[in-house]
Amino acid sequence: MGFMKAPVNYEILYLGIFLHMLFCLGTSLIAAPLSEMSDYLEKLVGVLGYLSLPLSGAFTMVDWIKPHYRWILLLSPSVNNVEMIREGQFGYRAHAHYDISYDFAACLVMIVVGLFLTLRVRKYLVVQ
């Protein structure tokens, strides 16, 4: 159809998508047990989801931020993932900044913490 060019680098594009799936899995594994443990946290999870949207990397590129402050955005695995997806789609024209090893380690820690919380949430569940 010709509306959009093909991705420049499929490997980094798919790696960014895969790591973003791991990030979403880790986030949900943490949010679900916490929302079962407390009614306040159940209400807070939705609010935090909306408040974290500007810091997700979807609306800003790390390259637009001054170099001195880029590390703040790069603490978020979501920002790293979106930057990888951008580089995979647009190539080096996007000037993406990311750290694959940090991103993978952060997602892995989130998944482990989420699994730990999931195993301990059973005593808070009420069957009706």
Say how far apart CA 11 and CA 70 lie, in whole Å.
24
More confident residue, 127 or 76: 76
Say how far apart CA 75 and CA 79 lie, in whole Å.
8
Query: What number is the average pLDDT over the span 6-13?
Result: 94
Kindly report, residue by residue over 83-96, the tens digit of the pLDDT: 999 999 999 888 99
Nearest alpha carbon to residue 22 among 96, 105, 87, 120? 105
Query: What number is the average pLDDT over the span 100-109?
Result: 97
Amino acid at 41: L
* pTM, full prediction: 0.89
Residue 104 in this model has a pLDDT that exceeds 90: yes
